Copies of this chain bind each other. A is one copy, B any other.
Amino acid sequence: MSKVSLITRLAVIGVGLIGGSLALALKRAKAVGEVVGCGRNAGDLEKGVKLGVIDRYTTDPVQAVRDADVVMLATPIGAMRSLLEKIRDHLAPEAAVTDAGSAKAGVIADARATLGARFAGFVPGHPIAGTEKSGVEAGFADLYVNHRVILCPQPETRMSALSKVQRMWELTGAQVEQMDAKRHDAILARTSHLPHLVAYALADVLAATRPQSEVLRFAAGGFRDLTRVASSPPVMWRDIALANRDALLVALDEYIAVLNAIRTAVAAQDAAALEAIFNRAKALRDSLPPGK
């Protein structure tokens, strides 16, 4: 007789890089009995079955969450509120519902407003992992190994749901920690959301430059590194930017202020001011722990 899995039936709504990698990692860890995938595109879901990421699929969230003991919402943040409304009355009573949104305060407010009594089963989460690639074929079982997963439990959160979601992430190889949602959003605004906007903006400057072929020919290593994340899915990052609006505006304003200081120094040929900014920036960069 086989050991009982942590999760009997996992519903993954949004079977892309994040949801698909979670399913693969849990299957490898023998932590899940069955994975039901759900999305809008049956062709992609079919691919997910063929790749062994999910066991079966439906395009109806109501069907997907039926009898699932864990439900993972891995859609763009903007889709979550209507999704929560749809599934609320169809969740199993003891189901743990969690998400992978990169900004937490908005998702938590949406869940609190829509889930009613089921909100006790909601465990807000954010796996800090990903690549600029997307789609079910981008998923891999090692994505979360040694990456951080932040959980932001609320006063109402049921301990059994929190424990189950925490254990689920640990079994993927991730390092799980708990954090206040507002603190999470302020930190991620600076370390992740702002950098994505910076990359999109830089790529957009080149998009507007003519002749473009010539500029592309000289886009060297630095430019490639700086714009890598501009390949990320636009809808996902549109939603993150809007969901973390307030913290992101603060970070954006700080960034634009530094850029304006650099612009002023270049215009005034102020060598000392430029060097001071560059020295400070280099010291910060050189202090980062060795990367993954």
Contacts known (A242-B271, A252-B262, A259-B255); A228 close to B230, Cβ less than 8 A: no
**Copies of this chain, tallied across the complex:** 2
Contacts of A3 in B (CB 8 A): none
Contacts of A192 in B (CB 8 A): 218, 220, 222-223
Question: Are B266 and A227 touching (Cβ within 8 A)?
Answer: no
In Å, the complex CA distance between A198 and B197 comes to 11
Closest to A253 in B: B263
Question: Are B205 and A251 touching (Cβ within 8 A)?
Answer: yes
Assess whether A215 is interfacial by the CB under 8 Å rule.
Answer: yes
In Å, the complex CA distance between A237 and B281 comes to 12
A125 CB to closest chain B CB (Å) equals 15
| Complex interface bits, A186-200 against B, C-beta within 8 A gives 1, otherwise 0 | 011011101111111
A176 CB to closest chain B CB (Å) equals 14
In Å, the complex CA distance between A212 and B238 comes to 27
| Complex interface bits, A219-240 against B, C-beta within 8 A gives 1, otherwise 0 | 1111111111111101101100
Question: Are B262 and A245 touching (Cβ within 8 A)?
Answer: no
Contacts known (A200-B281, A245-B267, A266-B249); A291 close to B224, Cβ less than 8 A: yes
Interface centre among A196, A288, A292 (most CB of B within 10 A): A288
Contacts of A242 in B (CB 8 A): 266, 269, 271, 274
Assess whether A178 is interfacial by the CB under 8 Å rule.
Answer: no
In Å, the complex CA distance between A201 and B227 comes to 15
Contacts known (A187-B215, A220-B128); A284 close to B195, Cβ less than 8 A: no
Assess whether A4 is interfacial by the CB under 8 Å rule.
Answer: no
In Å, the complex CA distance between A209 and B281 comes to 12
Closest to A187 in B: B218
Pick 30 A–B contacts, CB within 8 A, sort by A.
A187-B215, A187-B218, A190-B215, A191-B223, A194-B202, A196-B222, A198-B259, A200-B277, A200-B278, A200-B281, A200-B282, A203-B281, A204-B284, A205-B254, A205-B258, A206-B284, A207-B281, A207-B283, A225-B225, A227-B281, A230-B284, A230-B285, A237-B278, A245-B269, A248-B266, A249-B267, A252-B266, A256-B256, A256-B259, A259-B259
Beyond A196-B222, A200-B281, 5 additional pairs, beta carbon < 8 A? A131-B221, A191-B218, A205-B254, A227-B288, A230-B285
